[in-house]
Amino acid sequence: MINAILVFNNHGKPRLVRFYQHLAEEVQQQIIRETFHLVLKRDDHICNFLECGSLFGGSDYKLIYRHYATLYFVFCVDSSESELGILDLIQVFVETLDKCFENVCELDLIFHMDKVHHILQEVVIGGMVLETNMNEIVAQVEAQSKLEKAEGGLSAAPSRAVSAVKNINLPEIPRNINIGDINIKVPNLSQFM
């Protein structure tokens, strides 16, 4: 079983977080931080496997990671998965992203986080590997985006959303969002552009 899939950049900023068992948000962030520190220490020429001790709450777990340009792709798996198999799977996942986004870069992951998740859902569901054939994955993803387009897509939503927001007094949802934090993210993004 795959326990978690984490993607973060060279500075430890999470870009994709997918836990297959529920953990509180603080714990998740803690794990991401610790994983980042573990992975960062290792240079590129040593092996891609890492025993993470009790980080995920069991000794059976292992981190398998790959480093692509500015991003780390980390899979946390237990002993029923083959190490080389997972390395291969990371490669497949990244290549699929590359195909779906045409030359994927970190920004794609930031701006299309939902799409990345949808692609991931075609590869791994519930911690188990669903499909390893890239063509099949890409075909399914494309069929779904076609369906989305036929419906008008979410891309149409922002414009509608803007008008909707204009028409209402401050909506309920944004009230709970800490806007300061969002602003902090912006300079961070520009660093990697």
Partner 1 sequence: QDNIAVKANAVCKLTYLQMLGYDISWAAFNIIEVMSASKFTFKRIGYLAASQCFHEGTDVIMLTTNQIRKDLSSPNQYDTGVALTGLSCFVTPDLARDLANDIMTLMSHTKPYIRKKAVLIMYKVFLKYPESLRPAFPRLKEKLEDPDPGVQSAAVNVICELARRNPKNYLSLAPLFFKLMTSSTNNWVLIKIIKLFGALTPLEPRLGKKLIEPLTNLIHRFLISLSSGMPNHSASIQLCVQKLRILIEDSDQNLKYLGLLAMSKILKTHPKSVQSHKDLILQCLDDKDESIRLRALDLLYGMVSKKNLMEIVKKLMIHVDKAEGTTYRDELLTKIIDICSQSNYQYITNFEWYISILVELTRLEGTRHGHLIAAQMLDVAIRVKAIRKFAVSQMAMLLDNAHLIASNTQRNGICEVLYAAAWICGEFSEHLEEANQTLEAMLRPKVTTLPGHIQAVYVQNMVKLYASILQQKEQSGEKEAAQEITQLMIERLPQFVQSADLEVQERASCILQLIKYIQKLQIKEVPVAEEVIALFAGELNPVAPKAQKKVPVPEGLDLDAWINEPPSDSESEDEKPKTIFHDEEQRHSRHRQPEIDEEELARRREARKQEQANNPFYIKSSPSPQKRYQDTPGVEHIPVVQIDLSVPLKVPGMPMSDQYVKLEEERRHKQKLEKDKKKKKQKKEKRGKHHRHNSLHTESEEDIAPAHHVDIITEEMPENALPSDEDDKDPNDPYKALDIDLDKPLADSEKLPVQRHRNVETLKSPDSEAPLVEKKSKKPKKKEKKHKEKERDKGKKKEKEKKVIEEEEEKKVILQDLHYVRNCCYGPYLLLCSSVTYDIQGNLQNDSQVTVSVIFENKSTSFLKSMELNVLDSLNTKMLRPEGSSVHDGIPVPFQLPPGISNEAQFVFTLQSIVMAQKLKGTLSFIVKNDEGSTHEKLDFKLHFSCASYLITTPCYSDAFAKLLESGDLHMSSIKVDGISISFQHLLAKICFHHHFSVVERVDSCASMYSRSIQGHHVCLLVKKGENSVSIDGKCNDSTLLSNLLDEMKETLSKC
Instruction: List residues binding partner 1 (CB under 8 A).
Output: 1, 14-18, 20, 22, 24-26, 28-29, 42, 45-51, 80, 82-85, 87, 113-114, 117-118, 121, 125-133, 136, 140, 143-144, 147-148, 151-154, 156-158, 160-161, 164-165, 168, 171, 173-174, 176-178, 181, 185
* Cβ distance to partner 1 smaller for residue 28 or 70: 28
CB of 42 to partner 1, least distance (A): 7
Burial of residue 164 (CB within 10 Å: 0-12, 13-18, 19+) is exposed
CB of 74 to partner 1, least distance (A): 14
CB of 79 to partner 1, least distance (A): 8
* Cβ distance to partner 1 smaller for residue 87 or 97: 87
N-terminal to C-terminal alpha carbon distance within the chain: 35
- Backbone CA torsion sign across 123, 129, 130, 134: positive
What are the distances in angstroms from CA 25 to CA 18, 30, 57?
A: 12, 9, 16
Residue 91 CB partners (closer than 8 Å, separation 6+):
66
Write down how long the chain is: 193
CB of 128 to partner 1, least distance (A): 5
Distance in angstroms (rounded) separating the CA atoms of residues 27 and 161: 33
* Cβ distance to partner 1 smaller for residue 82 or 191: 82
Of 59, 60, 55, which Cα lies nearest the Cα of 6? Answer: 55
CB of 23 to partner 1, least distance (A): 9
CB of 193 to partner 1, least distance (A): 18
Distance in angstroms (rounded) separating the CA atoms of residues 48 and 39: 9
